[in-house]
Amino acid sequence: MFCFQCQETAKGTGCTVKGVCGKTAETNLWQDLLLGVVRGVGTVDHYLKKAGKASLPEVESFITDALFSTITNANFDDTSILNKVTNGILLKKQLMDLAAKADISLPDWQEVRWGGDEDDYAEEGKREGILRNEDPDLRSLKELTVLGLKGMAAYYEHASRLGEHNPDIINFMSEALCTISDPDASMETLLNCVLATGKYGVDVMALLDKANTGVYGNPELTKVNIGVGKNPGILISGHDLKDIEDLLKQTEGTGVDVYTHGEMLPAHYYPQLKKYKHLVGNYGNAWWKQKEEFETFNGPIVFTTNCIVPPSPKANYKDRVFTTNSAGFPGWKHIEAGADGHKDFSEVITLAKQCAAPTEIETGEIVGGFAHAQVFALADKVVEAVKSGAIRKFVVMGGCDGRMKSRNYYEEFALKLPKDVVILTSGCAKFKYNKLALGDINGIPRVLDAGQCNDSYSWAVVALKLKEIFGANDINELPIAFNIAWYEQKAVIVLLALLSLGVKNIHIGPTLPAFVSEGVLKVLVENFGLGGITTVEDDLKRMVG
């Protein structure tokens, strides 16, 4: 196997025997196969559309679900992945029939040519692996594109579950999948494809923002309880707000409470979700602490997306975990949506009633809900604080958290930041410093949490607004520095989106991605000033002076 898509990749170069994440070589093989099938589907879909012919509506859900399920820690279930392969082969055949009828000649690339012979699955999986591209720079650009597309797919899936669709984004995904399937694609073509991925990354985050705020209202300043109540509870994790809404509706009046974990914490900030009294709090921290935290939670757990950590054989919670959407784990029950998009959580609720209430692991509150609308509501205060010098600088510290010790850097960085600097955050990276009591500046908290990783979009909107207010020519003239922590591929689309908005001098850490080759890194450094992190002291000097 070869996989180097996340920050925890073995030796910082690639997992070759088994994933550090727990992914087996076999699961990786089926994911490579699935990615080959997705590229084939995308290519044929793009050729049809390029010729002005109608494609099939199933392309949207197939591409987004298949890409999403290959994100780090999303789906470890071989059966589920192979089912997606089978569906993709059928879909590709239907698309190829349409192309044949319309006299469209398709390219003779492996992804298009492969007929889906079951005896050939393993061989095709090997042919479609990352190392199929020998040139490290071309490989790097193709991987940057597909990893960005994975993040895009995840955000698109959540938006579509709330009724928001944008065919331009799907058309772009097919076009990009086609571009990276072409064995002869040039550096220039691939570089443009990476940059275009960033542009559509902005669009998909805007689409999800519209979906989330359209249905649940604008996030507002909220204090979230981190202790526990006396009732049994259900813990829900991931990014899908529709799922938590379904769960809240179905648990109302049952005596079962609902708690958020990890990236679901921001659900508390939305008026149409926080109104449920039995949404009692957030339990625990970021995804990588789940092994301990699920043990003490005592009740059922629902994964609406990544990040799943495979449980140890002795884990006491193994029989009370459920997955839904593109997530999956062998032996865990998977909940499918009904024809109307709603899900039946009755089995989870019945199980919860038989479980003890969660064991308290901490008490107190965390504050969040500073997405763009809430920040704009405070705009006068913020602008005044910047003009008076009370706020010297903002540092965007969004992104992912992870288990590597080197990530303690982010806690230390937050603690050592001068008291006149405000942290803008989103994503699970915040769990490194959102319980530190960093205080406020004239009533403005020093940690402003916009929400999930996709809510990084809010920081782009806020930056553009500040540019307007301060009459700056360029976003980079504003007193904002970017010190972003990454782990998986949603962070890749966020980064590409920021680059496409013209943000320069972004620092990413704790390590640079293995999938960025030396040649590609040089381009990113020269054009965008992209860089890594060093020591807290040196970075504080560089970023805040």
Stretch that binds ligand SF4, among 6-14, 136-144, 449-457, 493-501 (CB under 6 A): 6-14
3 binds ligand SF4 (CB under 6 A): yes
12-31 binders of ligand SF4 (CB under 6 A)? 15, 19-21, 23
Stretch that binds ligand SF3, among 49-57, 403-411, 462-470, 482-490 (CB under 6 A): 482-490
Alpha helices in 301-363 (DSSP H): 346-353
355 is annotated as contributing to ligand binding: no
CB of 485 to ligand SF4, least distance (A): 15
Please say whether the beta carbons of 378 and 444 come within 8 A: yes
Cβ closest to ligand SF4, residue 139 vs residue 268: 139
- Rounded to whole angstroms, the Cα distance separating 20 from 14 reads 10
513 binds ligand SF4 (CB under 6 A): no
510 binds ligand SF4 (CB under 6 A): no
CB of 533 to ligand SF3, least distance (A): 17
- Rounded to whole angstroms, the Cα distance separating 185 from 145 reads 13
- Rounded to whole angstroms, the Cα distance separating 190 from 180 reads 7
Cβ closest to ligand SF3, residue 42 vs residue 266: 266
427 binds ligand SF3 (CB under 6 A): yes
CB of 279 to ligand SF3, least distance (A): 19
Cβ closest to ligand SF3, residue 247 vs residue 307: 307
Decide which of ligand SF4, ligand SF3, none touches 287; Cβ closer than 5 to 8 Å per partner kind.
ligand SF3
Q: What tokens does 502 get?
A: 């013209």
Tokens 């000097």 -> residue? 541
From the list 414, 440, 417, the residue with the least C-alpha distance to 425 is: 414
Helical (H) or strand (E) element with 223: strand 222-225
Quickly count: other Cβ atoms within 10 Å of residue 444's Cβ: 17
Please say whether the beta carbons of 202 and 460 come within 8 A: yes
Please say whether the beta carbons of 520 and 140 come within 8 A: yes
Cβ closest to ligand SF4, residue 489 vs residue 500: 489
- Rounded to whole angstroms, the Cα distance separating 106 from 460 reads 39
178 is annotated as contributing to ligand binding: no
Cβ closest to ligand SF3, residue 174 vs residue 212: 212
151 binds ligand SF3 (CB under 6 A): no
Cross-strand pairs, 234: 258
- Rounded to whole angstroms, the Cα distance separating 78 from 85 reads 10
Characterize the bridge pairing of strands 333-335 and 321-324: parallel
Q: Is 519 exposed, middle or buried (0-12, 13-18, 19+ CB in 10 A)?
A: middle
Please say whether the beta carbons of 65 and 160 come within 8 A: no
5 binds ligand SF4 (CB under 6 A): yes
428 is annotated as contributing to ligand binding: yes
Q: Is the peptide bond before 355 cis (omega within 30 degrees of 0)?
A: no
CB of 137 to ligand SF4, least distance (A): 20
| Residues, the chain | 545
- Rounded to whole angstroms, the Cα distance separating 484 from 534 reads 13
Q: Which residue's Cβ has the minimum distance to ligand SF4?
A: 19
Decide which of ligand SF3, ligand SF4, none touches 490; Cβ closer than 5 to 8 Å per partner kind.
ligand SF3
Q: How many CA atoms lie within 13 A of 320 on its CB side?
A: 24
431 binds ligand SF3 (CB under 6 A): no
274-303 binders of ligand SF3 (CB under 6 A)? 287
322 binds ligand SF4 (CB under 6 A): no
66-95 binders of ligand SF4 (CB under 6 A)? 72
486-515 binders of ligand SF3 (CB under 6 A)? 487-488, 490-491
400 is annotated as contributing to ligand binding: yes
193 is annotated as contributing to ligand binding: no
453 is annotated as contributing to ligand binding: yes
4 binds ligand SF4 (CB under 6 A): yes
Characterize the bridge pairing of strands 421-425 and 447-449: parallel
From the list 537, 362, 370, the residue with the least C-alpha distance to 458 is: 370
489 binds ligand SF4 (CB under 6 A): no
Residue 231 amino acid letter: N
118 is annotated as contributing to ligand binding: no
Q: Determine the size of the site formed for ligand SF4 (CB under 6 A).
A: 12
Binding site for ligand SF4 (CB under 6 A): 3-6, 8-9, 15, 19-21, 23, 72
Binding site for ligand SF3 (CB under 6 A): 262-263, 287, 306-307, 400, 427-428, 452-453, 487-488, 490-491
Feature table: binding site:
3, 6, 15, 21, 239, 263, 307, 400, 428, 453, 488, 490
Feature table: binding site for [4Fe-4S] cluster:
3, 6, 15, 21
